[in-house]
Amino acid sequence: MKKYAVIGNPINHSLSPILHNHWLKENNINAIYDKIKLEENQIKNFINKIKKKELAGCNVTVPFKKSVIPFLDELSFEANQTQSVNTIILKDDLLIGHNTDIVGFQKAIKSLKYTIKDKRIFILGAGGVTPSIIFALNKMGVSEITISNRTKEKAEKLKEQFQNISVTEWGKLPDFDVIINATSLGLNNETINLDFSNIKDDKLFYDVIYNPSETNFLKEGRKLGNKIDNGKLMFIYQAFEAFKLWHMIEPQVNNEILKLLKND
Ligand code: ATR
- Which amino acid, one-letter code, is at 197? S
For 126-142, letters b (16+ CB in 10 Å) and e give bbbbbbbbbbbbbebeb
Instruction: Return d(Cα 171, Cα 63) in angstroms, integer.
Output: 25
Whether 143 and 218 map to the same domain: the answer is: yes
**Whether residue 65 lies in the annotated active site:** yes
- What's the 3-state SS for 57-72? EEEECCCCCCCCHHHC
Question: What digits encode the pLDDT tens for the residues 64-103?
Answer: 999 999 999 999 999 999 999 999 999 999 999 999 999 9
What distance in angstroms lies between residue 251's CA and the mean position of ligand 1's atoms?
Answer: 33
Whether 91 and 145 map to the same domain: the answer is: no
Which residue, judged by its Cα, is nearest atom 25 of ligand 1? 185
Angle between helices 152-161 and 130-139 (to 10 degrees): 40
Give the full edge-to-edge strand order of the sheet including 31-37: 31-37, 2-8, 57-60, 87-91, 94-98, 74-75
Whether 60 and 129 map to the same domain: the answer is: no
User: How many domains in the chain?
Assistant: 2
Whether 171 and 222 map to the same domain: the answer is: yes
pTM for this structure?
Answer: 0.96
- What's the confidence (pLDDT) of residue 262? 81
Which residue, judged by its Cα, is nearest atom 23 of ligand 1? 184
Residue 251 beta carbon below 6 angstroms from any ligand 1 atom = no
- Which amino acid, one-letter code, is at 93? D
In the Cβ-directed half-sphere of 111, how many Cα atoms lie within 13 Å? 17
- What's the confidence (pLDDT) of residue 107? 97
- What's the confidence (pLDDT) of residue 264? 62
- Which amino acid, one-letter code, is at 43? I
Instruction: Return d(Cα 227, Cα 71) in angstroms, integer.
Output: 41
Whether 114 and 45 map to the same domain: the answer is: no
Whether 106 and 226 map to the same domain: the answer is: yes
Residue 77: which H helix or E strand, with range? helix 77-82
Task: Work out the number of other CB atoms within 10 angstroms of the CB of residue 75.
Answer: 19
Whether 195 and 215 map to the same domain: the answer is: yes
CATH of the domain at 10: 3.40.50.10860
Given 2, 25, 53, 65, which residue is catalytic? 65
Whether 71 and 170 map to the same domain: the answer is: no
- Which amino acid, one-letter code, is at 205? F
Whether 93 and 144 map to the same domain: the answer is: no
Whether 187 and 242 map to the same domain: the answer is: no
CATH of the domain at 169: 3.40.50.720
Q: Which residues of the chain have pLDDT under 70?
A: 263-264
Instruction: Return d(Cα 123, Cα 170) in angstroms, integer.
Output: 11
Q: Which domain holds residue 63?
A: 2-99+236-260
What does the DSSP 8-state code read for residue 199? Answer: -
Please check whether residue 40 is in contact with residue 68, taking contact to mean a CB–CB distance below 8 angstroms.
no
Whether 92 and 211 map to the same domain: the answer is: no
- What's the confidence (pLDDT) of residue 95? 98
Residue 186 beta carbon below 6 angstroms from any ligand 1 atom = no
Task: Work out the number of other CB atoms within 10 angstroms of the CB of residue 235.
Answer: 23
Whether 134 and 26 map to the same domain: the answer is: no
